[in-house]
Amino acid sequence: MRTTPLRILAMLFASVLLLAACGNDDDDNGNGADTTEADAGMNGDDMDDDAETGTIVDVAVGAGDFTTLVAAIEAAGLVDTLSGDGPFTVFAPTDAAFDALPEGTLDELLADPDALADILTYHVVAGEVYAADVVELESAETVNGASVDITVDGDSVMVNGANVVQTDIQASNGVIHVIDAVLIP
């Protein structure tokens, strides 16, 4: 894993916010809603009211597996936007997804805020689109103006070939679906 000054700063920032935040490790899915294996680990209905008060950025910081995404959001100048009213749906790549990019790609993107903003806004859909709605779609228009393809095969949901591994993580200004790859427009 590459460690850049921005990544170190983001990890430090995430650690401080994580220590200050009230976490919720409740995995009980007693809501009776249909869930797939992909979203069995975290469904928005499983989170208590305290967890729902944070913005998309707050929830991403508190989750701990999105330090690179948070650093990229900061580098692209999108913190205020994704902390705003929304609502937004974010297909959030994990740190492992960013690590899987070809060598040097992340550093190049962090050095080019405009290109980085184009890629990050390709992960955002206006409005709240929950898992039950996503599986009914064939595509969705992103905030950057391009569309992503959505495919469903049994319990598997993919967005442009990225697997959706967790769904319906609620934030005060939208919803997050976790994906295992970075989407490139």
Q: Rounded to whole angstroms, how far apart are CA atoms 103 and 174?
A: 32
pLDDT digits (tens, 9 = 90+) for 36-59: 333 333 333 333 444 446 999 999
According to the model, what pLDDT value does residue 164 have? 97
Instruction: Report the relative pairing of strands 156-159 and 147-153 from DSSP bridges.
Output: antiparallel
For residue 50, the number of C-alpha atoms closer than 13 Å in the C-beta half-sphere is 8
Q: Is 122 left (phi over 0), alpha (psi -120 to 50) or beta?
A: alpha
Please list, in sequence order, all residues whose beta carbon lies within 8 angstroms of the beta carbon of residue 9, skipping any fewer than 6 positions away.
Answer: 71
pTM above 0.85, yes or no: no
Q: Write down the domain spans for the chain.
A: 5-19+38-179
Q: If you search the block for the tokens 């989407």, which residue do you land on? A: 183
CATH architecture of the domain covering 5-19+38-179: Roll (2.30)
Q: Which residues pair with 89 in a beta bridge?
A: 125, 175
According to the model, what pLDDT value does residue 155 have? 87
- SS3 assignment, position 30: coil
Residue 2 has pLDDT above 80, yes or no: no
